Amino acid sequence: MATQQTLFSLALLALLALPLVAAKNARFLHWYPTYGPDFQDILTNNCSVSYNKYLKGTGHLNKACPYVVDCILTNTRESYKANMASASVVLGLTPAILTLLGCGTAELSLLSTRRPFLSICLAIGSPSVAPVHTFEYSNPFVILQTKEGRRLHSRKSALRKALAVTVQYLLAFAAIANVATVSYDLGVKSLFNFTCNQAYLAFLWAFLAPAIQVSGSIAFRLRFKVVDIDAGDGRRKRGRFVQRLINEFSPCSTQGRSSILWKRETTFFLIWSWTVSAVAACHILFGTLAFSSLLFIAVKDALTVATRFIASAIVCRAILVFELSGMRETTLIEEERNENLRPLLASRHTPGSSISKTSNESSHAFIPTIRT
C-alpha cells in the first residue's frame, strides 16, 4: 500500500511539473495588429540570434525569453514605446473600473437563492470583485427595495418567459466566451514584463473572480435563510430538486413567493467576510499589476481589450438587475430580533403600494411589493 501511494505521489508530481518542462516555446508567434508587423520584422531581421536561442530552450523555464524582449525593445522606435506605456495605464485601470460596473457579491448571493446556475454564469462573465468594507455586506432590505412607479414584470405570457430565459443564458454565455478569448489573447499576443514565459496570468485573474464571488456569496448566505412560502402540495410532489430545476429556467418574477430571514452576525461570518474582503482587494491589486505590465500592445488594442471586458461586465450586470427586479415582486423579508423573530410584512398588503415600512425605536426596514 505504501509503495502504491509513493508511486501515485510521484506520478502526480510529474503530471504537475509537466507543463513547466514540456511547454512549447510559443512566445513571439502572435501579435496585436497595431504594431504586430513591426515587431515581427524586428524579430526576424534584428533579433534572430536571441530568438533561435529561445527556441532551443524549455517552455516556462526558458531563460532566453527576457533577452529576446530586450532585443526587440532596443530596436523599437521611441514613439512605439511611449504608446505602449500609455496602453499599460489603460489596462492597469481596467480591473478597478470593472469593480464599479460588474455584479455585486450580495446581489449574486440573493439571486443564487432562486437561480444558482445563472448567478454562477454572471460571476464568470463579469470578472470583477468589488471589495466591501470589512464586515459590511449590503442589506437585502435595500437591495430588494421597491420604488414608486417601477414597472412590474409580466407573469402571464409563457412565450415571454421562455424568450427571457433564452436571451439571458445566451448573453451570459457570450459574456463568458468574450472574457475567455480576451484573456487568452492577452497572454498569447503580449508579454508580462515581470514574467516573460507565463502566458496565463490574465486568464488566471479573470477566472479567480468567480471563485472569490462564490466565497463572498457563501459569507453573505450565512446572514439569511430562505423559506418557500408557496410550497403547496404540487410543489412537494415534484420534489425539491425538480422544483429548483424549474426555477432555474424561470424568471424570478414568475416563481413562487419566498421569505428571507435576515439573521444576526456570527463570529464565523465576521472572520469569513473579512477574509473575502482582503482576498478581493488582493485580486484587484493582482489584476492591476498584471495588466499594467503588459508589453507589445498599443493604446488602440488596449482600448479594445478594456471595452470588451467592460461590455461583458455591463451585460451581466443588466441581467442581474432584471432578475433582482423580479425578486422584489415575489420575496418577503423578515429580520431576526434580539428575543424573537418579527415578520416585517403586514398580514394584509395592499397590491400596488410601493414601500411598506415597519419601524421601532431602533431600526427601519423596507418591504418589497409582493404580487400574488
Q: What is the pLDDT of residues 23-36, one digit of tens each?
A: 467 789 999 999 99
Entry pTM: 0.79
Using DSSP's 3-state secondary structure scheme, residue 142 falls into helix
352: left (phi over 0), alpha (psi -120 to 50) or beta: left
- Measured between alpha carbons, how far is 168 from 163 in angstroms, rounded to an integer? 8
Q: Mean per-residue pLDDT for 50-74?
A: 87
What is the CB neighbour count within 10 angstroms for residue 107?
Answer: 23
* pLDDT confidence of residue 51: 92
What is the CB neighbour count within 10 angstroms for residue 273?
Answer: 25
- The DSSP element (H or E) to which 236 belongs, if any, is helix 233-238
Angle, CA of 295, 298 and 304, to the nearest 5°: 110
Residue 336's pLDDT band, with cuts at 50, 70 and 90, is low
26-30, 147-151, 333-337, 360-364: least confidently modelled range: 360-364
Contact between residue 172 and residue 122 where contact means Cβ atoms under 8 Å apart: yes
One-letter identity of residue 19 = P
Alpha-carbon distances, residue 207 vs 121, 212, 319 (angstroms): 11, 9, 20
Q: Please give the mean pLDDT across all residues of the chain.
A: 79
Q: Show the beta-strand stretches assigned E in the chain.
A: 191-192, 224-228, 258-262, 294-295, 331-336, 341-343, 356-359, 364-367
Taking the CA atoms of 310, 313, 316 and 318 in sequence, report the sign of the dihedral they define: negative
Contact between residue 129 and residue 352 where contact means Cβ atoms under 8 Å apart: no
254-263, 316-325, 362-371: least confidently modelled range: 362-371
Reported as a single tens digit per residue, the pLDDT across 245-263 is 888 888 888 887 777 777 7
Angle, CA of 38, 44 and 46, to the nearest 5°: 85
Contact between residue 71 and residue 47 where contact means Cβ atoms under 8 Å apart: yes
Ordered by start, the domain boundaries in the chain are 34-76, 78-345+354-367
